[in-house]
Amino acid sequence: MQDKLFINGAFVPAASGAMFDVVDPANRQVFHQVARGGAEDIDAAVKGARKAFDDGPWPRLSGAERGAILRKMGDLITERRETLARLEVRDNGKPLPEALWDIDDAAGCFHFYADLAETLTGAGEAVALPMETFIAEVVKEPVGVAGAIIPWNFPMLMAAWKVAPALAAGCAMVLKPSELTPLTALELGVIAQDAGLPAGVLNIVTGTGPEAGQPLTEHPGVDKLAFTGSVPTGSKIMQTAAKNIKTVSLELGGKSPLVIFADTPIEEALEWILFGIFWNQGEVCSATSRVLVEDAIYEPLLQRLAEESRKIKIGHGMEDGTLLGPLVSESQHRKVLQWIETGKREARLVAGGGVPEGLEAGCFVEPTIFADMEESATIWSEEIFGPVVCVKSFTSEAEAIRMANASRFGLAAAVMSVDLARANRVARAFRAGIVWINCSQPTFTQAPWGGYKQSGIGRELGIWGLNNYLETKQITTYDRSAPWGWYLKG
């Protein structure tokens, strides 16, 4: 396990010499320490990235040459998937099978952007003009030095979502992972070295938000900021970026609805409700944490949902059969339990609602189901980011759409119905950037990811993710064989 910062192609200690603890949330035990980076380290990282971009070979390589290195990084992630997944389990808490999925997805992300990098040939796209004496073309160029701040719920995968498209575009990057889950991000520095990435193209500074994240967002040497996290922090980053007119992409919170019509088979509905909220302990920005059920099947579905939730195995992520691991940290554990206490005052508690017996030493929370709350209830409107789902009934399609859209968030939404015409009609009525029909949470690197309203700005993944890190330049040429001197001659 790495314990130093990755700056300008080398692992180095923090300038202050400070370290911070890495804690296993399954037992709250410290098992490692890493460097606690600060403003001086961020400055060194940005300067390294600036030199790599301004003077180094990376943005001047062909897209195919960059793609070859990205593909090698993806291959190395695949080769080390077991080690990386086990690190994710220890510092995040998620079950090992889920961690393995994440590592596979991260490798696939690098492979996808390796392919896209090869399409960046540098050739311009012709633009039709109304005057034959001028020729115009549009070219795409890397935006420059990108600063990226990622959350703790999908440590390696969120790093891949930012790093792979930025490098494919030809950018240099400074990555600030969450202080709660720094380990696999640092291993990405090893992978970059082993893949032959030039020094300074990728820099990784671990540290807290105030000590490392804020200096990164404020640094004048950064051209673009990419952030995934909470709405309040995203708002602060926007304000900071506005001072220097930096481009910003933000993937923020969600309180996503899952609308279930009465013609949906109950067993199918159960599968996607449970996965949509309890996967990754509910620590998922797109989790379908508001479930709206047509009144004809409301009580039977609610009863079955409670029964199935009690069967979920809770435990350490390395234990066979575990489906629900601990929350990521003591502070997150405390926050979710506080939300549950609020829920007990605002709604009917159907299942869960506490700490599992025998697991008090870790940051565990039972799968929790609330029902029959008012739409004004805070547990219905606010993001809890834990294994807590709120369930309400509806009587008509119009009411379901209204309730689903009555949120300041608009990241994701889902609908289930045997009637595909109705499902598609509802899907198009949702005010959300990601919509699922007869499922919840499938995510593909090839498709855009991002939300409406307070859920963010811009899109990640697919070609849209690459465009986040590209500038568009117009080049217009005058045909010298055409008559000239028109200005001076009047």
Calculate the alpha carbon distances from 34 to 10, 12, 147 in Å.
15, 11, 20
Nearest to residue 393, comparing CAs of 381, 384, 403, 408? Answer: 403
Alpha-carbon span 250 to 244, nearest angstrom: 17
Strands (E), 192-254: 202-204, 224-228, 247-251
Based on the residue annotation, tell me whether 285 is a catalytic residue of this protein. Answer: yes
Q: What's CA 137's distance to the chain center, in Å? A: 34
Name the nearest CA neighbour of 66 among 96, 100, 110, 98: 110
Residue 195, CB half-sphere, CA atoms under 13 Å: how many? 27
Q: Phi then psi for 434, rounded to 5 degrees? A: -130, 125
SS3 call for 139: strand
Active site residue 251: yes
Tokens representing 294 are: 């047509």
Q: Cα 271 to the chain's mean position, in Å?
A: 24
What is the spatial distance between Cα 200 and Cα 189, in angstroms, rounded to a whole number?
A: 11
User: Exactly one of 98, 251, 383, 460 is catalytic; which is it?
Assistant: 251
Asked if 92 and 184 touch (Cβ cutoff 8 Å), the reply is no
- Judged on CB neighbours under 10 Å (0-12, 13-18, 19+), 453 is middle
Where does residue 43 rank: exposed (0-12), middle (13-18), buried (19+ CB within 10 A)?
Answer: middle
Amino acid at 392: K
Question: Amino acid letter at 273?
Answer: I
Please name the helix (run of DSSP H) or strand (run of DSSP E) that holds residue 301, with its range, or none. helix 298-309
Q: Which two tokens stand for residue 129?
A: 């003009």
Per the residue annotation, which of 179, 187, 283, 285 is the catalytic one? 285
Distances (CA, A) of 189 to 46, 141, 183, 200: 15, 25, 10, 11
Written as six digits, the tokens of 455 are 């859920």
Cα distances (angstroms) measured from residue 110 to each of 166, 436, 440: 11, 25, 24
Strand partners, 204: 6, 175
Question: Which residues are designated catalytic?
Answer: 251, 285
